[in-house]
Chain A
Amino acid sequence: MSKELNLTLKVWRQRNNKAKGQFVTIQANNIADDMSFLEMLDVVNEDLTRKGEDPIYFDHDCREGICGMCSLVINGRPHGPKEGTTTCQLHMRSFHDGQTIVIEPWRAAAFPVLKDLAVDRTAFDRIQQAGGYVNVNTGGVPDANTIPIPKRIADEAFESATCIGCGACVAACKNASAMLFVSAKVSQFALLPQGQTERYERAQAMVDQMDKEGFGSCTNTGACEAECPVGIKLTNIARLNREYLNAKIFRQEDVHS
């Protein structure tokens, strides 16, 4: 049996990225506690649409916690109060009847608000385009396991590669730093043989782009790790620091003048 909740939502409404936004209080009644948070917003939006009002604009896509599209700072926490989960995987049973829920967009200069709760996260795309890839000549499909990789290395690289690029790390960080994201993307290649060719160029290029986008620096508070829905570890940030400083001090590519 599912219970029904009556909630008071305090939602950030902003017409477009130039407009000045404000909080609007919206009543969400008869919300089944089996609903996901986004389904709750769907119900609220249907209501608003029926009344002829503008529905709340928010990002979402797969709704199964793997695409990284959903966002929302819910009661001061990116992706809500539960650990290791995205907003789409957050259910209304995590809230109680009569609760006031404050819903805000990610706040960062590098993530400008597009409308209401949706922010422009293309800064992450540009960081990826700066170096988050490997250049390989495509050809015939190589045999499996032709390049030996120790299991622990493969596991570590996989852990880093689970980053879905949602931006919760930036939203959680008091400095709006993108270090956890960038470090995960740098790590997954730095650990694997395929990433070695451009290893040091990559770290420098991605850090340069990160700074250019206007993200803050890392104060090692650990808030990003605590809020990351897929459990990216702070050890990735230490690795990024190593990769970057190594590149700067030893400069594999151009040791000769």
Chain B
Amino acid sequence: MSSKSKPVLTSSLGKKLIMSLTGLFLCSFLVVHLIGNLQLFKDDAGYAFNNYAYFMTHFTPIKVVSYLLYASIVIHAVYALILTRQNKAARPVGYYKSSGNENSKWNSRNMGILGTVILVFLVTHMQHFWWQYKFGTTPYVEYQTELATGNRQIIASDDLPSDYTGYKIYVNNGVEIVQSKDLYKQVAYIFQNPFIVLLYIVAMAALAFHLIHGFQSAFQTLGFNHRRYIGLVRGIGIWVFGIIIPIAFATMPLYFYFKSL
């Protein structure tokens, strides 16, 4: 046996390791993203959500993690492409008659297609919110909250001075004043469009099927497969990442669409 072996990342197992680790990191992001976005359902004209959006885009440790996240998406997609090309090359002549569903699940065989749908969604999703928030025409809003009573007054962008910029939070005569970009309004605006709502729902369906296979597959790639915990891993993959999270995300566009009617 030779003791010199190829570097880990050049092997098929090493590439799968990359897929597994980036995939699980993206899964962990979904949990945080969902919990944060649940604030969209608060009936406070976006006060909590807009403060949260400012925090998430300006707190340095979160910013570092967000760059790791963007890198993970790119690496996950690039390695998927490399692996898919190699896998296609491993069978240059296909079968005339393919057994398909008789020995494996459809989603496990079509992770690339599901992933592509998710990637297309991500680009439009980033354009809708991330780009608009950072460089676009997201309106401003001012919340004036009387700290003693909790009464809140909302001043929309039309009534604010035209040179109004930046994020401010201060207390003046017992009134808390928050000036912020109104991402909440942008969310409500985007989801008035039924086609965008449909795109989001289709993307969440793709995400569900991607993760029902992907989550447990990531653990298998890392070598975790033992009867003691494999049931838990599969359960989390199906129920949390395959059902609860995609459905919870899909309710957001639906909520704003029906609210706009």
Inter-subunit contact B91/A109 (CB<8 Å): yes
Which residues between 13 and 50 of chain B lie within 8 Å of chain A, taking CB atoms?
13-17
Inter-subunit contact B11/A223 (CB<8 Å): no
Report the count of interface residues on A (CB-CB < 8 A): 56
Inter-subunit contact A214/B89 (CB<8 Å): yes
Encode contact with A along B185-228: 1 for CB under 8 Å, 0 otherwise.
00000000000000000000000000001001100111111100
Inter-subunit contact A76/B95 (CB<8 Å): yes
C-alpha spacing A205/B5, complex, angstroms: 7
Would you mind naming 24 contact pairs between A and B with Cβ atoms under 8 Å apart?
A10-B96, A76-B97, A77-B99, A102-B97, A104-B95, A104-B96, A108-B90, A108-B91, A109-B89, A130-B1, A172-B99, A175-B87, A176-B87, A201-B3, A204-B5, A208-B6, A211-B6, A219-B111, A223-B104, A238-B225, A241-B220, A241-B223, A242-B223, A244-B11
C-alpha spacing A71/B222, complex, angstroms: 31
Q: Which residue numbers of A lie inside 8 Å of B, CB to CB? A: 10, 12, 23, 73, 75-77, 102, 104, 107-110, 130-131, 135, 172, 174-177, 198, 201-202, 204-205, 207-208, 210-211, 214-223, 226-227, 234-235, 237-242, 244-245, 247-248, 253-254
Cβ 8 A contact of A220, one of B2, B14, B102, B213: B213
Inter-subunit contact A217/B86 (CB<8 Å): yes
| Chain A residues in 8 Å Cβ range of B216 | 220
* Given A76-B99, A223-B103: A208 in contact with B5 (beta carbons within 8 A): yes
Cβ 8 A contact of B223, one of A214, A216, A239: A239
Closest 9 CB pairs of A and B: A242-B223, A238-B225, A216-B90, A226-B103, A204-B5, A175-B87, A217-B12, A216-B87, A76-B97
* Closest chain B CB from A156 CB (angstroms): 12
C-alpha spacing A109/B90, complex, angstroms: 5
* Closest chain B CB from A64 CB (angstroms): 24
| Chain A residues in 8 Å Cβ range of B108 | 219-222
| Chain A residues in 8 Å Cβ range of B105 | 221-222
* Given A205-B1, A211-B11: A245 in contact with B17 (beta carbons within 8 A): yes
Residue B83 interfacial (CB < 8 Å): yes
Inter-subunit contact A104/B97 (CB<8 Å): yes
- Nearest B residue to A12 by beta-carbon distance? B96
| Chain B residues in 8 Å Cβ range of A207 | 11-13
- Nearest B residue to A130 by beta-carbon distance? B1
| Chain B residues in 8 Å Cβ range of A214 | 89-90
Residue B172 interfacial (CB < 8 Å): no
Inter-subunit contact A201/B1 (CB<8 Å): yes
Inter-subunit contact A245/B222 (CB<8 Å): yes
- Nearest A residue to B213 by beta-carbon distance? A220
Residue B61 interfacial (CB < 8 Å): no
Q: Identify the interface centre among A216, A234, A239: most chain B CB within 10 Å of its CB.
A: A216
* Closest chain B CB from A230 CB (angstroms): 15
| Chain A residues in 8 Å Cβ range of B225 | 234-235, 237-239
C-alpha spacing A238/B224, complex, angstroms: 6
C-alpha spacing A214/B16, complex, angstroms: 16
* Closest chain A CB from B107 CB (angstroms): 9
Which residues between 224 and 244 of chain B lie within 8 Å of chain A, taking CB atoms?
224-226
| Chain A residues in 8 Å Cβ range of B63 | none
C-alpha spacing A221/B213, complex, angstroms: 8
Supply 9 further A-B pairs (C-beta < 8 A) apart from A76-B99, A237-B225: A23-B96, A131-B1, A205-B1, A211-B11, A217-B15, A223-B103, A223-B104, A238-B225, A245-B223
C-alpha spacing A205/B224, complex, angstroms: 22
Residue B148 interfacial (CB < 8 Å): no
Inter-subunit contact B97/A75 (CB<8 Å): yes
Residue B161 interfacial (CB < 8 Å): no
| Chain B residues in 8 Å Cβ range of A222 | 103-105, 108
C-alpha spacing A251/B91, complex, angstroms: 33
Inter-subunit contact B103/A77 (CB<8 Å): yes
* Closest chain A CB from B238 CB (angstroms): 15
- Nearest A residue to B17 by beta-carbon distance? A245
Residue B149 interfacial (CB < 8 Å): no
Residue B93 interfacial (CB < 8 Å): yes
